[in-house]
Amino acid sequence: MKSSIIEKINVLKKSKNAIILAHNYQLPEIQDTADFVGDSLELSVKASKTTSDIIVFCGVHFMAETASILSPHKKVIIPDLEAGCPMADMINARDVINKKKKHTDAIAVCYVNTTAEVKAECDYAVTSANAVDIISKLKHHKNIIFLPDKNLGSFVTEKTGKEMILMDGYCPTHAKITAGEILNRKKEHPGALVVSHPECESEVRNISDIVASTSQMCKFIRESNCREFIMATEEGLNHRLKKENPDKNFYPASVYGVCPNMKKNTLEKLLWTLEDEKNEVKVPENIRARALKCVENMINLST
């Protein structure tokens, strides 16, 4: 059944000049069908550099929005429009405007895990991979509002010493991973390294051997001599890691490390969306232009 669906997807992809992108947290069969697998910004930048007319973004809604921001002349579709991000939904544009009114001398830095409307109200975007570097380069700004992820924000503060005005957002999936569960896994696998995402709570990060974004995790594990890893992040990444490192073992830090929204995209929905070219995600130009400046400011500081 799956093979016939994949075959149909591949035929449609070629005839429609489409590219399929899958986030690291997607279902294994989605990852295996995609042209590229990676983190959200990495995939959006990849899509903007291709000659494809259609971008099928298998991820959550803000990721498809980011692809639309960077590729306004391409059609961006998502298998399930209801695949949202609870953390991104914890803050809206009005929240940012009000915060900036309260702190008139501050700039606003947003995690890329935000809506286009929020990005349009911010000065810089960051990813979990470059947040420490970007904030380190903003030395001339005395006050920085960082949103929405308080855990990533506190991680950046720990690494840079830069106190920021944090907002109260968080990732429910990463917040469910506890230090107690990790310590139990360590008893089961005493030789394993603990690898955690900066969206995790500080108690988890403090007992980890490395704290890294998904792309940094892939690089670290690929280069590591260790053969066992306890993964404190969404369990979908383990599929990619096992494919890239078949001689290594990966243990989920928690049975609760599953994002239900990431799993809403299925092969069947991917096929239907590509057939009908439905579920388009299009950012209005008045918002897109301002959100693009926020993202471009990050990209310019990263080079």
For the chain, domain boundaries? 2-83+262-282, 88-170+287-302, 177-252
Query: What whole-number percentage of the chain has pLDDT above 70?
Result: 99
What pLDDT is stored for residue 184 in this prediction? 97
Q: Report the C-alpha gap between 131 and 136 in whole angstroms.
A: 8
């500081």: which residue's tokens? 301
What pLDDT is stored for residue 121 in this prediction? 98
Q: Taking 80 as the threshold, does the pLDDT of residue 1 lie above it?
A: no
Cis peptide before 148 (omega within 30 of 0): yes
What pLDDT is stored for residue 206 in this prediction? 98
Query: What whole-number percentage of the chain has pLDDT above 90?
Result: 92
- The structural architecture, per CATH, of the domain 177-252 is 3-Layer(aba) Sandwich (3.40)
What's this model's pTM, rounded to 2 decimal places? 0.94
Q: Taking 80 as the threshold, does the pLDDT of residue 10 lie above it?
A: yes
Q: Report the C-alpha gap between 157 and 36 in whole angstroms.
A: 32
Give the pLDDT confidence of 143-182 residue by residue, as tens digits.
Answer: 999 999 999 999 999 999 999 999 999 999 999 999 999 9
Q: Single out the residue of 97, 54, 87, 89 nearest to residue 290, CA to CA.
A: 97
Q: What is the mean pLDDT of the chain?
A: 96
Mean pLDDT of 93-117: 97
Structure tokens that stand for 91 in this block: 């803050």
What pLDDT is stored for residue 266 in this prediction? 97
Q: Taking 90 as the threshold, does the pLDDT of residue 3 lie above it?
A: no
Give the pLDDT confidence of 233-272 residue by residue, as tens digits.
Answer: 999 999 999 999 999 999 999 999 999 999 999 999 999 9
Q: Taking 80 as the threshold, does the pLDDT of residue 120 lie above it?
A: yes
The CATH topology of domain 88-170+287-302 is Rossmann fold (3.40.50)
Q: Taking 80 as the threshold, does the pLDDT of residue 303 lie above it?
A: no
Question: In CATH terms, are 88-170+287-302 and 177-252 the same topology?
Answer: yes
Predicted confidence band of residue 41 (pLDDT cuts 50, 70, 90) = confident
Note the CATH number of domain 2-83+262-282.
3.40.50.10800
Contact present, 170 and 87 (Cβ < 8 Å): yes
